[in-house]
């Protein structure tokens, strides 16, 4: 029965040591942020880390989207845009008409821009503007997409003109 007479300090030391090991295993950057935006999770890799990153950026008032994309790249590498899109899509149903919805639509639009899906990106930015007409980032991104489209149309027209100009030369050569 002497075995059960363990000093209290030894028990506390063992518990603290185990807690330190658990904390080390989980990671020093682990934060127990409430994930109120998420009603379901499909893939834990995307959902848990993506939820933490989105929640962190939604809680920052001066957070810009470029730093969000940078954070997603740290965790997801080449799949950052897909992970951001998936995380934003999972968060949107729970956000509803919350003040976070316009930022989530903006994040979603940026992910779609990264994935070179400009039509869908513009729709997301427009939804962000509908939720919050003062969302200047979404407004700027719509302008950028339209400018890209205009420049692409000019380049296409110039290429067609150059092709048409070469057609008579090619016909004369034969």
Residue 161: predicted pLDDT: 87
Mean pLDDT of 99-106: 85
How much is the pLDDT for 142? 93
% the chain with pLDDT above 90: 25
Confidence tier at 113 by pLDDT (50, 70, 90): very high
Task: Kindly report the average pLDDT of the chain as a whole number.
Answer: 76
pLDDT digits (tens, 9 = 90+) for 119-169: 999 999 999 999 889 989 999 999 999 998 899 889 999 988 888 888 666
Position 28 confidence tier, pLDDT thresholds 50, 70, 90? very low
Closest CA to 128 of 146, 149, 108, 152: 108
pLDDT tens, position by position, 77-87: 889 999 999 98
Separation of alpha carbons 168 and 10, rounded Å? 93
pTM: 0.64
Instruction: Tell the residue number behind the tokens 């007409």, with chain if given.
Output: 133
Cβ proximity of 56 and 110 under 8 Å:
no
Q: Tell me the range of 19-28, 31-40, 127-136 where mean pLDDT is highest.
A: 127-136
Tell me the per-residue pLDDT of 48-79, one tens digit each, with 9 for 90 and over. 678 888 888 877 766 677 788 888 888 888 89
Segment 96-106 shows an average pLDDT of 79
Alpha helices (H) along 60-117: 65-76, 80-95, 100-114
Structural tokens at position 35: 């994930």
pLDDT of residue 90: 86
């Amino acid at each position: 029965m002497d075995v059960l007479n363990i000093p209290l300090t030894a028990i506390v030391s063992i518990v603290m040591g185990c807690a330190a090991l658990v904390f080390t295993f989980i990671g020093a950057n682990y934060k127990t942020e409430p994930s109120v935006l998420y009603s379901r999770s499909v893939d834990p890799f995307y959902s848990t880390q993506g939820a933490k990153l989105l929640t962190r950026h939604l809680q920052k008032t001066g957070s810009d989207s470029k730093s969000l994309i940078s954070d997603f790249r740290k965790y997801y590498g080449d799949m950052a845009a897909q992970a951001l899109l998936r995380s934003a899509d999972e968060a949107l149903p729970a956000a509803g008409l919350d003040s976070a919805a316009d930022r989530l639509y903006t994040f979603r639009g940026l992910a779609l821009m990264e994935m070179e899906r400009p039509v869908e990106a513009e729709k997301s930015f427009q939804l962000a503007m509908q939720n919050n007409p003062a969302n200047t980032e979404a407004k700027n991104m719509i302008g950028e997409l339209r400018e890209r489209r205009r420049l692409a149309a000019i380049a296409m027209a110039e290429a067609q003109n150059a092709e048409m100009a070469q057609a008579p030369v090619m016909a004369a050569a034969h």
